[in-house]
Amino acid sequence: MSNPNDPGNPGNPGNPGNPSDRVDIDAVIRALEHDEVARAKLRAVLLGEELLALPQAVAKLSAQVAELARQVSGLTRQVTKLNAMMERYEARFDRIETRLDHIEADVSVLKTDVSVLKTDVGDLKGTDLERRVREHPKRYLGALLRSARLFDIDEAANVEGLHADELVEVLRADAVFEAVDRSGEELFVVVEISWNAHKDDISRALDRARLLSRATGSPVLPLVVSASMPAEVVVASAAESGVGLFCTDRPQPLVPGLRIAA
C-alpha cells in the first residue's frame, strides 16, 4: 500500500510533479497587466522598500545636481564678470599710475624751477641791495661813518702791497669804501652784502679786510650788511671776530665791529 505522504507519490499535493500544483505564469502575467494594486504588491515583495524608494532618491539627487549646476553656472557668470571688471580696473589703475608718474615728474620739474626762481630772486634782491649800499653808504652805515666814498677799482690796482691774487680777492668784496668814521679817523671799509647774512659772509669780510690793511698800511673796518635779521649764531660769530654787522631795518649796528690796524 502506497504512502500518500511519500514525495514520490503522485497523489501527494507537495509533489511538484503534480499538475494541479503548477502556477500558470502566463495567467499571472495577464492578471498583473490589468491589476495595478497587484503589481504594486508584487513589487513590494520582490524589491523591498529600499529598492522601491530608489527612483525617488535618484530623482531627488538629480534635482539637487541640477540646482548645483545652476548655481555653479551662476557663479561662473559672476566670476567672468568680476574678471572683466578687474581687467577694466587694472587698466584704469595703470592709466592712473602713468598719470601719477607724469604728475610726479612735473612736480619735480616745478620744484626745480621754483628753487631756481628762488635763487634768482635772492640774487636779484642781493644785487639790488649791493647797488643801494654802494650808492648810498651813509644811509646804511651812517651810524659808524661820517663820510664814505666808493673805492675805485683802478685805485685798488695801484696798491703796491697786494699781490695779483690778493687784489682779486679784495675786489671780490661787494663794496670797498674810503671813509671817515665818527671820530674823524680815515680808514677803509670792506663790506659784504647779503639778503640773509651767514657765517661765511663774516669770514670773507674779515679776510679781505686783513689783506687790504696789510697792503695799504691803513686801518680797515670789516662790515656785513644783511637785509633780514641774521641768525643768533651769525651775530655771535661777528661779535667774536670783531666784524661789524648791520641789519638794514635798524639804524644802529647789531655789532659795531673793530678796526684792523696795519
Residues 96 and 175 in one domain: no
- pLDDT reported for residue 247: 95
Question: Which of 118, 151, 168 is a domain's end point?
Answer: 118
pLDDT bracket for residue 141 (50, 70, 90)? very high
Residue 136 has pLDDT above 90, yes or no: yes
Return the bridge partners of 69, or none.
Answer: none
20 DSSP assignment: G
Q: Averaged over 30-35, what is the pLDDT? A: 76
Q: What is the CATH number of the domain that holds 233?
A: 3.40.1350
Q: Averaged over 52-56, what is the pLDDT? A: 75
Q: Highest mean pLDDT: which of 44-53, 85-94, 111-120, 142-151? A: 142-151
pLDDT bracket for residue 56 (50, 70, 90)? confident
User: C-alpha cell of 210?
Assistant: 686783513
Q: Are 257 and 244 in contact (CB under 8 A)?
A: yes
Q: Is residue 171 part of a domain?
A: yes
Number of neighbours of residue 213 by Cβ within 10 angstroms: 22
Q: How far is CA 186 from CA 152, 181, 225, 247, in A?
A: 16, 7, 21, 24
CA 167 – CA 54 distance, rounded (Å) = 118
Q: Is residue 127 part of a domain?
A: no
If one counts the domains in the chain, the total is 2
Q: Is residue 129 part of a domain?
A: no
User: C-alpha cell of 10?
Assistant: 503522485
Q: Is residue 242 part of a domain?
A: yes
**Percent of the chain having pLDDT more than 90?**
36
* Largest Cα span, the chain: 184
Residues 200 and 148 in one domain: yes
Q: Is residue 29 part of a domain?
A: yes
Higher pLDDT: 42 or 93? It is 93
To which residue does cell 503522485 refer?
10
Residues 150 and 237 in one domain: yes
Residue span of the structural domain in which 239 resides: 136-247
pLDDT bracket for residue 210 (50, 70, 90)? very high
Residues 144 and 113 in one domain: no
- pLDDT reported for residue 16: 52
Question: Which of 68, 86, 118 is a domain's end point?
Answer: 118
